[in-house]
Amino acid sequence: MNEKLPAEVKIGVVHLTVPNLERSVQFYRDRLGFQLISQTDRTAFLGAGDEPFLALHENPAARRVRGVTGLYHFAVLLPERKDLARLLAHLSQQEVSLQGFGDHGVSEALYLADVDGNGIELYVDRPREAWPRDGQGNLRMVTDPVDIDDLIAELGETTPPWKEVPAGTCIGHIHLQVSELQPAEAFYTSVIGFDLVQRMGSSAAFFSAGGYHHHVAGNTWEGVGAPPPPPDSIGLRFFELRLPDEATLSQVKARIQAAGLPLQELDGGWFVRDPSQNGILLTRWE
């Protein structure tokens, strides 16, 4: 059995609970340019073209709970650096409040929160050959200031203004709040099959497949031993982990079952929770 995930793994749709569906749709569609793909009374799917990457589920009684596990941020990967520059200019014009910027060596990113406080990263990758590595060849992500002037210089006089996310925009990674780092690391490496890419002290770790900088990250910044959120919390319901074929899905399922973890068939996939009770829907995209 192959114990590691193949490079073709992707983060699929991120599912969030929100208290006011229309307000959230307006934010993601009108402020960020996510395209509304479908909507019912209580659920909306947004993404790029006909490819959803965000699902909003309304619970009018939902409330923000602090000091729990769940979502730190979901990260939207844009195809080109010029796209990030266009989006930054658009957000400035819209007077959308940003929480910060980060040049991580592997990528350039900007950070904000939605109307309910859910964390969002919008980023573009640098070419892999430019990613920083240590003397042993291991990736070493950093957090340096973004050269805003250089980023905005991507915009020329003929650059069209931002209207919507371009084709190819997707979820690049998801960053989770976890209760304890060691169980999270064991789960995402030994059970799911990611590689450990980097630790940030004793409080954060980054996991990936195929040499990517990270598909999933976990941190204990809400406190070691943080409990899972109550069912009526605003925030992450679950996220989709898309596997390339039935063989890979079967291998991951077998490792989950061998670990004695509950596994439930759900919505055409298989649902499992990590040790911090963050939900994952395993699907295949072939």
Q: Tell me: the pLDDT tens digits for 165-207?
A: 999 999 999 999 999 999 999 999 999 999 999 999 999 999 9
pLDDT at residue 161 in the model: 87
Residue 1, pLDDT > 60, answer no
Tell me, what CATH number does 268's domain have? 3.10.180.10
219 neighbors 185 (Cβ within 8 angstroms): no
Rounded CA gap, 83 and 103, in Å? 16
Q: Tell me: the pLDDT tens digits for 65-115?
A: 999 999 999 999 999 999 999 999 999 999 999 999 999 999 999 999 999
In a domain, 70, yes or no: yes
148 neighbors 110 (Cβ within 8 angstroms): no
Find the mean pLDDT for residues 10-30: 99
Residue 72, classified by CB atoms within 10 Å of its CB into exposed (0-12), middle (13-18) or buried (19+), is: buried
Structural domain including 146 reads: 10-284
Token pair belonging to 222:
């809400």
Q: Give the CA distances from residue 13 to residues 53, 160, 220, 224, 242, in Å, rounded to whole numbers and listed in that order.
A: 4, 28, 24, 28, 9
Q: Give the CA distances from residue 3 to residues 41, 81, 215, 251, 252, in Å, rounded to whole numbers and listed in that order.
A: 42, 35, 17, 8, 8
Amino acid at 107: S
In a domain, 181, yes or no: yes
pLDDT at residue 286 in the model: 62
In a domain, 248, yes or no: yes
Please measure the distance between the N-terminal and C-terminal CA atoms of the chain and give it in whole angstroms. Answer: 20
Rounded CA gap, 162 and 151, in Å? 15
pTM above 0.85, yes or no: yes
In a domain, 29, yes or no: yes
In a domain, 153, yes or no: yes
pLDDT at residue 267 in the model: 87
In a domain, 3, yes or no: no
Name the domain count of the chain: 1
Find the mean pLDDT for residues 57-67: 98
